[in-house]
Amino acid sequence: MSVNQVSDADFDAQLAAHPKAVVKYYADWCGSCKLFAPKYKRLAADERFNDIAFMDVNAEKNPQARKAAGVANLPYFAIFRDGQLVEALSTSKEEAVVELLGKLN
């Protein structure tokens, strides 16, 4: 799967359309966010996570989506099941994100 760019306007609809989703919150100025972007794309293409929708949200431009996951630091990852927040964490470690994704299976 690819990574879909999501905004406040379509955030709820995207979560409703995908029973399992992970959202990466980032900001344009965030160096760690930029460094994690290729890892996130690679995870989105990983067969282990074929049933999970991968989404990107600019935390500065989308306050409603940011509030839905209680974003505190960036990059911030949140997993949703059936539109409901399951768990979230702020990390730049790929292993931590893989472990988070495992909680959706």
pLDDT at position 77: 98
**Which listed residue (6, 15, 30, 53) is catalytic?**
30
Question: For residues 103 and 15, what is the distance between their CA atoms, to the nearest angstrom?
Answer: 17
Question: Which listed residue (33, 55, 69, 78) is catalytic?
Answer: 33
63 carries an active-site annotation: no
Which domains are delineated in the chain? 3-102 (3.40.30.10)
Give the model confidence (pLDDT) of 55-78 as tens digits: 999 999 999 999 999 998 999 999
Whether 27 is a known active-site residue: answer no
Over the stretch 22-32, which tens digit does the pLDDT of each residue have? 999 999 999 99
**Alpha helix stretches (DSSP H) within the chain:** 11-17, 31-45, 63-69, 94-102
Provide the pLDDT confidence category of residue 1 given band limits of 50, 70 and 90: confident
Rounded Cα–Cα distance for residues 48 and 14 (Å): 21
What is the arithmetic mean of pLDDT over 79-102?
97
